[in-house]
Amino acid sequence: MDLTLSIKGLRIKAKKLDNDFYEFIKEDLAKSGVDITQDNSIEALFTAYLRLAAKAHNYDKEIEGIISQIES
């Protein structure tokens, strides 16, 4: 599935995304105020990026904790 995003009038397309990944991205973008059906601000896209970066950071910390527990 293709995902098209408009930022300050610039249209960006990601082609051939897996359907599950497409739905995940669409929902996560919406939580950050990014609407794939209309033009968006740079701030909204940056907020969406920060949300995902925070999730990744937290997952890394959890994984490190689990590895520490396993190694103990």
Number of structural domains the chain divides into: 1
Domain residues for 50? 3-71
| Cβ atoms of 4 and 36 closer than 8 Å | yes
**In angstroms, what is the C-alpha Rg of the chain?**
16
pLDDT tens digits, the chain, 72 residues: what are they? 999 999 999 999 999 999 999 999 999 999 999 999 999 999 999 999 999 999 999 999 999 999 999 998
CA atoms of 40 and 29, how far apart (whole Å): 11
User: What pLDDT does 55 receive?
Assistant: 94
Under 8 Å CB-to-CB from 19, ≥6 apart: which residues?
A: 1
